[in-house]
Amino acid sequence: MEIEILKEEKDFLELKIVGETHTLCNIIRNELWEVEDTSFASYNLKHPLISSPILAVKVKKGKPRKVLLDAVQSLKTKTKQFKSLLTKLS
């Protein structure tokens, strides 16, 4: 995976995520919508086989990089909790 910053402003961040698909971008987008400071979160994947997704986030306050990193950290925590629950089932 490679991340390329396409546009970065005070309240907006647009990234190209090379080597990923709907799966990662959709879960990040959903998690961004859980963050109160997010005013816009979306991604676009023009073609699933030959293009890379573009993830965009706009924030009401704070820095978009920080909001994105917080969302990713939250996903890491939720993933660990899910893994723990699964191991209890075995």
Domain with residue 58: its CATH number is 3.30.1360.10
Tell me the three state secondary structure of residue 60: coil
Q: Is residue 76 part of a domain?
A: no
The number of distinct structural domains making up the chain is: 1
Q: Is residue 75 part of a domain?
A: no
Measured CA to CA, the distance from residue 90 to residue 49 in angstroms comes to 36
Q: Which residue has the tokens 């909790």?
A: 81
Tell me the three state secondary structure of residue 6: strand
Q: Residue 17, Cα to own-chain centre: how many angstroms? A: 10
pLDDT of residue 90: 75
Range of the domain at 44: 2-65
pLDDT of residue 48: 78
pLDDT one-digit tens code per residue, 31-88: 999 999 999 999 999 987 889 999 999 999 999 999 999 999 999 999 999 999 999 8
Q: Is residue 81 part of a domain?
A: no
| Per-residue pLDDT at 20 exceeds 90 | yes
Residue 43 in contact with residue 25, Cβ under 8 Å?
A: yes
Q: Is residue 33 part of a domain?
A: yes
Q: Other CB atoms closer than 10 Å to residue 89's CB: what's the count?
A: 5
